[in-house]
Amino acid sequence: MPKTLSFRRGLSSVLLWSIISAAFIGPGTVTTAAKAGASFQLHLLWALLFSTIATIILQEAAARITLASGKSLGTIVAEQYRNGYGRGLRWALFLAVAFGCAAYQAGNLLGAVSGLALILPVPTYTLLLGVGLVACLMLWQGSIRAISRLLALVVAFMGIAFLSIAILQKDYTLADVMLGALQPGIPEGGLLLVLGLVGTTIVPYNLFLASGISQEQEVEEMRWGISMAVAIGGLISMAILITGTQVSGVFSFETLSAAMEEKLGAGAPALFALGLFAAGISSAITAPLATAITAR
């Protein structure tokens, strides 16, 4: 932690920026990372390390622009392109973000429902209504800081769930994990999964989200918060990939849950299910929030 930051301010900044971790660790990340682990074991861990570093750099740049100008990225684009073709560009940008978030949102809600469905014998439509209601109530808070603190708790729970599973597995040592993270290489048939891991971590609308929540911070405070929060998110994504190595054969949430029960005991499937739910509900909150900040 920088010497100019107190522990309280540093922790507060990490809690605030955990909203970015909550945004990029959604059901898509769980699916892609777990499938990468199931298909190629630890050979694609490096892609998550690269994506995490790139996310820190890009988010810091977006937040720094806001701190220097006092304006969000959406406002800067609106002021830069006021007339003519610029107006069309602004609308195109907004529609791209809005429809992109809508697509993410569908996956987020269904992912959260898939997690609950693994442990609750409840009809899917009932779970979907319940998850949607929870997301609405959390967004109803109105305060970005309040939402960030709620999401920090969700991210912490998600991290405990997936990191516990990764630590409990006995197939790989820490040396194996380090080798997978530091030795780049694309196995045959792995290119699409590499692109998926990069794409599900470096989420474009998060740049607008970052510019919308950084305006009241100092540069050092912002850099510390982004670096720590995104690094924690990257660590959770890596834990999900390690979790996926427990599957042999065709990947699905059900087969992964069954494999974990066989190898790690009866409690592992519940941890995975709750982690998947946490990933879905956290991203279900950040997607509409990012759209609102962009429109503003």
Could you tell me if residue 272 is inside a domain? yes
Q: Is the pLDDT of residue 220 over 90?
A: no
DSSP letters spanning the chain: --TTS-HHHHHHHHHHHHHHHHHHSSHHHHHHHHHHHHHHTTTTHHHHHHHHHHHHHHHHHHHHHHHHHSS-HHHHHHHHS-STHHHHHHHHHHHHHHHHHHHHHHHHHHHHHHHHHTT----HHHHHHHHHHHHHHHHTT--HHHHHHHHHHHHHHHHHHHHHHHHH--S--HHHHHHHHHS----TT-HHHHHHHHHHHS-THHHHHHHHH-TTS-HHHHHHHHHHHHHHHHHHHHHHHHHHTT--SS--HHHHHHHHHHHH-THHHHHHHHHHHHHHHHHHHHHHHHHHHHH-
Could you tell me if residue 1 is inside a domain? no
Q: How many domains are there within the chain?
A: 1
Could you tell me if residue 2 is inside a domain? no
Could you tell me if residue 186 is inside a domain? yes
Identify the residue with better confidence: 25 or 197: 197
228-280 per-position pLDDT tens digit: 889 988 998 999 899 888 877 777 888 878 877 777 777 778 888 888 888 88
Could you tell me if residue 42 is inside a domain? yes
Q: Is the pLDDT of residue 98 over 60?
A: yes
Q: What is the CATH number of the domain that holds 13?
A: 1.10.4160.10
Q: Is the pLDDT of residue 154 over 60?
A: yes
Q: Which domain holds residue 167?
A: 7-295
